[in-house]
């Protein structure tokens, strides 16, 4: 039985990945960010049956000693730990370099030293910037349109360099916009849903014209697992995408129609990205992942949104609805 480490296990995608790996019978060590509240993030919300099956390791991805300790005795590493909020990266870019680049380097160095048999490094569709052509395949140029995006490009290139230099079993996994239960309110879908469920008549958003390729979180997680199973994915960069796009305006109107048809959209200045930083179009190609693995998306946008609405309705108290989360 494989022993798997998930970094960023306390986060949105990481907690779902831990859950699914346990369900599939793997031994999982979940790397959670150390804090004085002894909070394990979203891991705290998992069932006792799942929690009983995982080993929680608290540490800081920026610390090479703790990262190495967390990886001892591990067969596979799913490296998801990162700072991901784009507006906060304008505010505090140093912290993104420390977490996203240095944190990834810590994982790679430990894996090289320990001879880890499989490493998946998580990228993001934001590394592509605004689409120069669609669908965006893995050969698309990189564009650092935010400090967040720039640090993820840097982390990806470090991962590539360790594969090329040391022949390590690394794959760069590049999910397009993932949504679903447990996503924070800094993301657009929970932003819209929480305001609507709280009875707001004016839904505050940024730009409505950008398009995104939305993956439901269970499809994203299964993408990771299928990529890890395939040896033909080693040394590759692989999109997880539906190959369908929807504009933020269309998405908002769909959610308004489902929850409160009387609501209207207000474009709020503070939520707008700087003009040259806005990624106007993301529509990913999933040809490569389908060719190299058995992955297929199982959730339509309609089905995924319905599940997400139901979950947020039950967990509305976990969101600070009147505050703009950067």
Q: Which long-range contacts (CB under 8 A, 24 or more apart) does 137-142 make?
A: 137/239, 137/285, 137/287, 137/288, 138/174, 138/236, 138/237, 138/238, 138/239, 138/285, 138/288
The bridge status of strand 178-179 relative to strand 215-216 is parallel
Q: Give the tens place of pLDDT for each residue, 284-300.
A: 999 999 999 999 999 99
Under 8 Å between Cβ of 312 and 190: yes
**Banded pLDDT at 183 (limits 50, 70, 90):** very high
Residue 32: CB partners within 8 Å, gap ≥ 6? 9, 10, 40, 41, 43, 56, 57, 58, 59
Q: Give the tens place of pLDDT for each residue, 185-203.
A: 889 999 999 999 999 999 9
Under 8 Å between Cβ of 126 and 152: yes
pLDDT of the residue at 244: 98
**Banded pLDDT at 306 (limits 50, 70, 90):** very high
Q: Give the tens place of pLDDT for each residue, 63-110.
A: 999 999 999 999 999 999 999 999 999 999 999 999 999 999 999 999
Which pair of structure tokens corresponds to residue 232?
């033909």
Under 8 Å between Cβ of 43 and 18: yes
Average pLDDT on 228-241 reads 98
Residue 118 φ then ψ, to 5°: -160, 130
**Banded pLDDT at 172 (limits 50, 70, 90):** very high
pLDDT of the residue at 96: 98
Element (H, E) at 22: helix 12-23
pTM, 2 dp? 0.96
**Banded pLDDT at 208 (limits 50, 70, 90):** very high
Which pair of structure tokens corresponds to residue 104?
């990834």
CATH 3.40.50.720 fits 3-180+215-240, yes or no: yes
């Amino acid at each position: 039985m494989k022993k798997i480490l998930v970094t960023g296990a306390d986060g949105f995608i990481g907690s779902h990945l831990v859950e699914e790996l346990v369900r599939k019978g793997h031994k999982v060590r979940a790397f959670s960010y150390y804090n004085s509240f002894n909070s394990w993030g979203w891991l705290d919300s998992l069932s006792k049956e799942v929690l009983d099956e995982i080993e929680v390791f608290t540490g800081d991805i920026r610390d090479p000693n703790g990262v190495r300790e967390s990886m001892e005795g591990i067969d596979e590493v799913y490296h998801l730990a990162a700072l991901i909020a784009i507006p906060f990266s304008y505010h505090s870019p140093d912290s993104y370099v420390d977490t996203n680049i240095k944190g990834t380097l810590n994982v790679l160095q430990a894996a090289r030293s320990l001879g880890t048999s499989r490493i998946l490094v998580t990228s993001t569709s934001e590394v592509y910037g605004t689409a120069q052509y669609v669908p965006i395949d893995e050969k698309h140029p990189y564009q650092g349109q935010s400090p967040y995006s720039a640090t993820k490009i840097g982390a990806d290139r470090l991962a590539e360099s360790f594969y090329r230099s040391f022949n390590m079993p690394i794959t760069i996994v590049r999910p397009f916009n993932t949504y679903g239960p447990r996503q924070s309110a800094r993301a657009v879908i929970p932003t819209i849903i929480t305001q609507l469920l709280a009875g707001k008549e004016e839904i505050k958003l940024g730009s409505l014209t950008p398009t995104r390729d939305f993956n439901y979180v269970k499809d994203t997680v299964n993408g990771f697992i299928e990529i890890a199973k395939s040896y033909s994915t080693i040394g590759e960069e692989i999109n997880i995408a539906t190959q369908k796009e929807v504009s933020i305006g269309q998405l908002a109107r769909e959610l308004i129609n489902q929850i409160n048809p009387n609501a209207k959209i207000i474009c709020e200045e503070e939520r707008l990205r700087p003009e040259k930083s806005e990624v106007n179009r993301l529509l990913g190609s999933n040809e490569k992942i389908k060719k190299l693995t058995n992955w297929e998306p199982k959730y339509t946008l309609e089905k995924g949104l319905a599940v997400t609405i139901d979950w947020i309705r039950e967990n509305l108290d976990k969101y600070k609805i009147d505050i703009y989360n950067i």
